[in-house]
């Protein structure tokens, strides 16, 4: 069944949001590598890769539905952050924004009786729950560390271990 125009447009915008997340996390990875915190750098590199996979999943869905992919401009993400905490706070805020946009799309799909789209979107709803929780956890730990060197280095090591374990899954 052909996708309604507004759903198609929204799916293309979601794809763009995922590509922006991929780019944003790549920039955040560079921020940490350049600050000699390679654990956090690795963490964001891994998140960036995952966002790219989210975009590809949307792309494949469009193709499967015989729908049209609409290329949209990708904003340039900010590069400098006041602190590691500020960087994670921004990532957390972005995830919350993405979650809301999926909720809006899901509502639209339900209102229009687009059950196939609804089923497809549920995967993203679950994924967003995990990603929000992940970022929220790091924000909380970084607040506890209060920008202090030794605590920050420990968290950096923890972030590296997390990224490594996710890669091995
Ligand atoms: Fe795929 Fe974190 O949004």
Percentage with pLDDT > 90 across the chain: 95
Residue 31: pLDDT band (50, 70, 90) is: very high
Q: For the segment 7-16, what is each residue's pLDDT rounded down to a tens digit?
A: 999 999 999 9
Atom number of ligand 1 nearest to Cα 18:
1
Q: How many domains does the chain have?
A: 1
Q: What is the CATH number of the domain that holds 158?
A: 1.20.1260.10
Give 67 Cα–ligand 1 centroid separation in angstroms.
22
**For 19-44, what is the mean pLDDT?**
98
Helix (H, G, I), strand (E, B) or coil at 100: helix
Ligand 1 centre to CA of 1 (Å) is 27
Compute, in angstroms, the gap from residue 150 CA to the centroid of ligand 1. Answer: 30
> Confidence band (pLDDT; 50, 70, 90) for 147?
confident
> Cβ distance 75 to 20 under 8 Å?
yes
pTM of the model: 0.96
Tell me how far the alpha carbon of residue 158 lies from the centroid of ligand 1, in angstroms. Answer: 22
For the CA of 98, the closest atom of ligand 1 is 3
CA gap 57, 15 in Å, rounded:
9
Work out the pLDDT band at 168, boundaries 50, 70, 90: confident
Q: Which long-range contacts (CB under 8 A, 24 or more apart) does 22-26 make?
A: 22/48, 22/49, 22/51, 22/52, 22/55, 23/48, 23/74, 23/77, 24/48, 24/77, 24/91, 24/94, 25/51, 25/91
> For the chain, what is the mean pLDDT?
96
**Structure tokens, 144:** 């506890």
> 22 lies in which domain range?
5-168
In ligand 1, the atom with minimum distance to the C-alpha of 55 is 1
Smallest CA separation from ligand 1 atom 2, residue = 95
């Amino acid at each position: 069944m052909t996708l309604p125009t507004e759903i198609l447009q929204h799916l293309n915008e979601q794809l763009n949001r995922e590509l922006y997340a991929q780019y944003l996390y790549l920039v955040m990875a560079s921020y940490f590598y350049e600050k000699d915190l390679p654990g956090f750098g690795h963490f964001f590199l891994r998140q960036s890769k995952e966002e790219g996979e989210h975009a590809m999943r949307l792309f494949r869905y469009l193709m499967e539905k015989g729908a049209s992919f609409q290329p949209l401009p990708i904003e340039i993400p900010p590069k400098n952050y006041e602190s590691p905490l500020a960087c994670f706070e921004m990532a957390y805020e972005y995830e919350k924004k993405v979650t809301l946009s999926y909720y809006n799309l899901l509502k639209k799909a339900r209102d229009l009786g687009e059950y196939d789209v609804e089923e497809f979107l549920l995967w993203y709803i679950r994924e967003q729950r995990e990603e929000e929780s992940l970022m929220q956890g790091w924000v909380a730990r970084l607040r506890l560390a209060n920008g202090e060197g030794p605590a920050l280095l420990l968290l950096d090591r923890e972030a590296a271990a997390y990224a490594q374990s996710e890669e091995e899954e």
